[in-house]
């Protein structure tokens, strides 16, 4: 019954189904003598209809044997956005880094003006000799031992298992159960066998790799250690009515540094302002760095 | 101030709002202040899963009720809590104003060290919040010195708020001038920030101020229009 791509409703009565299995069950029980109108059912799907129409058109044009060209596409689909296929025009010849900047800001979109021409927002960059956001030094990237590249985990098995638990959204109860069941050689054995000098390898006398965490609690403790959040500090103020009211705060500079060094934002951080103009020369403001700094 | 060659600007955005949590136990309120930086593209910054907004401080909320003591009024108590808030804000913003003169060398995510100059660029909040942060009267505009009665008039030409003068007035304790400008006699925490006029920090909050106002206005207009033409009941019936 797979031919029912859309197991919506029965073609003979008004029953609706969510599962194709339920629909086929219904068909065999209620309408055993009915012939399945295959073609009709298929025609019900608008997507397949258009597909076949397009195929017909293409077949009529005699194009199926030869590769499609831009002209053919334009003939068949007048509204087809052909610009993507055209040879690089003048505005496409942009240095790579600029294009990257534009594309990441969504400014690379063409704006269709009423006369049918396609114009583009022009971007004026900050004077290069002012070297906004110049790299003063590259960070001394510590050469770590191979066994340390999985910190805070000890070896790649630890890391992989932790990653799986995290990405698969395994509940803590199930993680605990996983270790209690002894699938990987039992939790106690895991901890006993894992010695720091074993490093990246599993213990030689065990069939399974060893893990330095044996419960959800220890696992998430390790994961939490990966985040170097700015620290919370507390202080007290005296209101006339409430003495020693506690408040919590963080160091603002630490927070800024934390945001700046976060690798997740590395690709989307800008450090020099730009001026953006649309096709008619109007200034366009979108992000903070498009203003007058 | 022009930044030196080879340095970059880190505009800091603050967001704060008093949040009413419960009516029990004499009102439970939380007053968080969040911050983020303007260098991060807004489509990343505004994505909740990107965690680009960091809570910086949970400001203490002044207790409700008036102290039963001679010479202690609600106004005085309000003033005390405002003063405490501003002292705290000054303490929180201290690192920024200390670091404003000099650049901090921060490591970016791409493992490169850059010189950064930190400036506060915006403080997002609703009107009441801005009034508290800027220490002005609740009935006055935070951007210009428009008198309360003329708020909402089109095409007025009031002077933009100049906090340098206010600072001077506060030092001289010139209460009459301050009252005319709608400013409270208080040492504002934002005055410690460099190169910033607090009036420029206010950004219209589209969700709270603009859209809400427009929707409210439009609804009034539509309802009035329908009543005049005796069509309001038709909408209520359907």
> Model confidence over A239-283: pLDDT tens digits?
877 778 888 999 988 888 888 887 778 888 887 888 888 888 788
Give pLDDT, residue A107.
Answer: 37
Give pLDDT, residue A135.
Answer: 64
- Which of the 8 DSSP states describes residue B208? I
Q: Would you call A288 and B10 a contact, using CB atoms and an 8 Å cutoff?
A: no
User: How many helices, marked H, and strands, marked E, lie in chain B?
Assistant: 8, 6
Residues of chain B short of pLDDT 70, as ranges, are 1, 66-70, 107-110, 203-210, 238
Average pLDDT estimate for A108-115: 38
Give pLDDT, residue A110.
Answer: 37
Q: Do A151 and A103 share a structural domain? A: no
> Does the structure show a pLDDT above 50 at A100?
no
* CA neighbor of B158 nearest in space, from B181, B175, B174: B181
A89-93, A207-211, B3-7, B229-233: least confident range: A89-93
Q: Do A238 and A218 share a structural domain? A: no
Domain that holds residue A264: 233-268
Peptide bond into A4 cis (omega under 30): no
Give pLDDT, residue B224.
Answer: 92
Give pLDDT, residue B62.
Answer: 81
Assigned domain for A74 exists: no
Q: Do A248 and A215 share a structural domain? A: no
Give pLDDT, residue B32.
Answer: 92
Assigned domain for A201 exists: yes
Q: Would you call A252 and B92 a contact, using CB atoms and an 8 Å cutoff?
A: yes
Q: What are the residues facing B123 on neighbouring strands?
A: B14
A262 touches chain B (CB under 8 A): yes
CA A171-A199-A196 angle, to 5 degrees, is 85
CA distance B226 to A177: 65
Average pLDDT estimate for A223-241: 81
Of residues A90 and A187, more confidence is placed in: A187
Q: Would you call B88 and A137 a contact, using CB atoms and an 8 Å cutoff?
A: no
Q: How many domains, chain A?
A: 3
> Does the structure show a pLDDT above 80 at A96?
no
Q: Collapsing DSSP states into helix, strand and coil, what is residue B15? A: strand
Q: Do A150 and A112 share a structural domain? A: no
Q: Do A156 and A95 share a structural domain? A: no
A285 touches chain B (CB under 8 A): no
Assigned domain for A39 exists: no
Residues in chain A: 293
Give pLDDT, residue A67.
Answer: 46
Q: Do A218 and A187 share a structural domain? A: yes
Give pLDDT, residue A105.
Answer: 39
Q: How far is B25 from chain A (nearest CA, A)?
A: 14
Give pLDDT, residue A35.
Answer: 61
Average pLDDT estimate for A198-208: 46
Task: Identify from A239, A245, A263, A272 which residue to disrupt to test chain B contact, counting B C-beta atoms within 10 A and taking the largest count.
Answer: A239
> Does the structure show a pLDDT above 60 at A81?
no
B80 touches chain A (CB under 8 A): yes
Assigned domain for A108 exists: yes
> Does the structure show a pLDDT above 80 at A151?
no
Q: How far is A136 from chain B (nearest CA, A)?
A: 5
Give pLDDT, residue B228.
Answer: 92
Q: B96 and B193 in contact (C-beta within 8 Å)?
A: yes
Q: What are the residues facing B12 on neighbouring strands?
A: B37, B120
What does pLDDT average to over chain A?
63
Q: Would you call A247 and B5 a contact, using CB atoms and an 8 Å cutoff?
A: no
Q: Do A250 and A185 share a structural domain? A: no
Assigned domain for A8 exists: no
Q: Would you call B58 and A141 a contact, using CB atoms and an 8 Å cutoff?
A: no
């Amino acid at each position: 019954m797979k031919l029912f791509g859309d197991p919506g409703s029965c073609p003979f009565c008004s029953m609706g189904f969510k599962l194709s299995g339920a629909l086929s069950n219904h068909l065999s029980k209620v309408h055993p003598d009915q012939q399945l109108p295959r073609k009709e059912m298929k025609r019900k799907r608008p997507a397949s209809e258009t597909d076949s129409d397009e195929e017909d058109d293409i077949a009529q044009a005699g194009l199926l044997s030869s590769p499609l060209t831009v002209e053919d596409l334009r003939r068949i689909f007048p509204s087809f956005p052909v610009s993507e296929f055209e040879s690089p025009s003048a505005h496409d010849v942009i240095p790579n880094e600029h294009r990257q900047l534009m594309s990441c800001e969504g400014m690379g979109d063409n704006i269709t003006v009423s006369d049918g021409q396609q114009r583009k927002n022009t971007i004026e960059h900050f004077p290069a000799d002012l070297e906004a956001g110049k790299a003063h030094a590259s960070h001394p990237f510590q050469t770590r031992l191979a066994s340390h590249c999985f910190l805070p985990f000890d070896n790649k098995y630890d890391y992989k298992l932790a990653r799986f638990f995290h990405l698969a959204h395994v509940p803590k109860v199930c993680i605990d159960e996983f270790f209690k069941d002894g699938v990987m050689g039992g939790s106690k054995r895991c901890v006993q066998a894992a010695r720091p000098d074993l490093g990246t390898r599993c213990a030689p006398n065990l069939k399974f790799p060893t893990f330095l965490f044996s419960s959800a609690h220890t696992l998430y403790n390790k994961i939490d250690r990966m985040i170097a959040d700015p620290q919370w500090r507390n202080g007290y103020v005296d209101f006339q009515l409430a003495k020693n009211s506690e408040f919590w705060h963080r160091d603002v500079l630490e927070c800024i540094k934390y945001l700046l060094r976060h690798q997740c934002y590395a690709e989307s951080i800008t450090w020099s302002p730009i001026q953006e103009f649309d096709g008619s020369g109007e200034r366009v403001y979108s992000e903070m760095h498009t203003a007058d700094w | 101030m022009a930044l030196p060659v080879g340095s970059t600007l880190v505009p800091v955005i603050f967001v704060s709002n008093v949040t009413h949590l419960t009516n029990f136990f004499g009102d439970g309120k939380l007053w968080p202040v969040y911050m983020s930086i303007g260098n991060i593209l807004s489509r990343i910054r505004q994505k909740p899963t990107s965690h680009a907004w960091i809570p910086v401080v949970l400001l203490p909320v002044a207790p409700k009720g008036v102290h039963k003591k001679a010479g202690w009024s609600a106004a005085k108590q309000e003033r005390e809590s405002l003063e405490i808030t501003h002292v705290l804000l000054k303490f929180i913003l201290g690192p920024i104003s200390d670091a404003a003169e000099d650049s901090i060398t921060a490591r970016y995510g791409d493992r490169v060290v850059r010189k950064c100059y930190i400036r506060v660029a915006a403080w997002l909040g609703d009107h009441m919040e801005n009034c508290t942060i800027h220490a002005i009267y609740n009935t006055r505009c935070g951007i210009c010195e428009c008198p309360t009665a003329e708020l909402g008039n089109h095409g007025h030409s009031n002077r933009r708020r100049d906090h340098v003068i206010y600072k001077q007035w506060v030092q001289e304790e010139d209460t009459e001038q301050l009252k005319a400008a709608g400013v409270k006699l208080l040492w504002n925490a934002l005055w410690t920030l460099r190169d910033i006029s607090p009036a420029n920090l206010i950004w219209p909050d589209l969700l709270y101020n603009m859209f809400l106002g427009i929707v409210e206005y439009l609804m009034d207009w539509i309802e009035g229009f329908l009543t005049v033409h005796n069509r309001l009941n038709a909408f209520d019936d359907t």
